Amino acid sequence: MTIRLGLVGLGKIARDQHLPAIAATNGIELAAIASRNAGLPDLPHFHDIDALLASGTAIDAVSLCTPPQGRFEQARAALLAGKHLMLEKPPGMSVAEVEALGRLAEDRGLTIFTTWHSRAAAGVEPARALLSGKTIRSVRIEWKEDVRHWHPGQQWIWEPGGLGVFDPGINALSIVTRILPEAMHLTGATLEFPENRAAPIAAELAFSTDSGIPVAASFDFRQTGPQTWDIVVVTDEGTLKLSLGGSRLSVDGVERMAEEDREYRTLYGHFVSLVANGRSDFDLAPLVHVADAFLLGRRKVTDAFHD
């Protein structure tokens, strides 16, 4: 049975990633669009999810690609209408609201998938396998990109709930929480807020794993020139490096893996499998770490940011 999907939100991430991934994935097909601004040729189009659900258009599942602010009500409406649910990252604008969605999906026997697309990067599962059983000494994350290039005109990212530099940074946290053999918790943080913005533009974070391994992270939204999305794990048996957001993997400088990006195709394939098996994939750990960073982080005000 092919899953008939309603896609909600037709912005940059939907066009760049979701549409081609859905088209390339067996077992799922695009059946309707809900977007305030745009539709697609030959597809039913609605102003918002409520209109889509009220229309009687036959869909089995909803994929939400809207900004995190306001996504809760859309997600709740989808679940209450009996639709399986796939959430872009971050899965919501607060920990408690996503927990509420998890309870609702479970109560209704529906699939909920809190996607973390970077976990589907080619190097991540091989890195996880390589680190299993190793003695890890330290972890260093550097996640620095140019917000003007990657988030042109996306004002929501600077609003409360938009996460600022944690919008990319949470991708790094989603990888690290997947590849390390134990959980971690924040021990200290500094967040830099532009004087005219409600979300941070840079952050320095220090974590410790359950057994005390230090994990340091630097996030920055002001990186021009070459972009940096690196995670370096020092072990007793060599240094593992994930670069380009997890798509490249090397050990002691020798490349082990460099594949083309298939992240979103992997996500949709996984979603098809989850629905077929009546299961969910629900993990809030990256969002909990971000909430902890806001909770525990020392705030510094820095220069105004203008798009």
Instruction: List the catalytic residues.
Output: 89
Order of strands across the sheet that contains 214-220: 254-258, 248-251, 238-243, 228-235, 136-144, 214-220, 202-209, 184-194, 298-302
Tokens of 212: 């005390």
Q: Is 96 in the site for its own copies (CB under 8 A)?
A: yes
The secondary structure of 74-117 as a DSSP string is HHHHHHHTT-EEEEPSSS-SSHHHHHHHHHHHHHHT--EEE--G
| Burial status of residue 177 (CB atoms within 10 A of its CB: 0-12, 13-18, 19 or more) | buried
Are residues 166 and 290 in contact, defined by beta-carbon separation less than 8 angstroms?
A: yes
* Position 168 contacts its own copies (CB under 8 A): no
Contacts to its own copies from residues 233-292, by CB under 8 A? 285, 288-292
Please pick, from the candidates 54, 183, 258, 276, the single residue that binds its own copies as defined by CB under 8 A: 183
Nearer to its own copies, 244 or 296 (CB): 296
**For residues 104 and 244, which CB has a smaller minimum distance to its own copies in the complex?**
104
Member of 85, 184, 201, 205 binding its own copies (CB under 8 A): 184
- Provide, rounded to whole angstroms, the least separation between the CB of residue 6 and its own copies: 23
152 and 260 Cβ atoms separated by less than 8 Å: no
Which of 143, 171, 141, 149 is CA-nearest to residue 12?
Answer: 149
Contact pick of 236, 252, 295, 306 for its own copies (by CB under 8 A): 295
- Binding positions for its own copies, 133-162, rule CB under 8 A: 160-161
216 binds its own copies (CB under 8 A): no
54: contact with its own copies by CB under 8 A: no
Binding of its own copies by 109 (CB under 8 A):
no
Decide: is 302 part of the binding site for its own copies (CB under 8 A).
no
For residue 71, the minimal CB distance to its own copies (Å) is 12
Q: Among all chains, which residue has been given the structure tokens 């669009």?
A: 33
Whole-number Å distance between alpha carbons of 100 and 77: 13
User: In this chain, which of 32, 93, 157, 233 binds its own copies, going by CB under 8 A?
Assistant: 93
AA letter at 160? P
Residues lying near its own copies in the complex (CB under 8 A): 72, 93-97, 99-100, 103-104, 160-161, 183-189, 193, 198, 210, 285, 288-292, 294-299
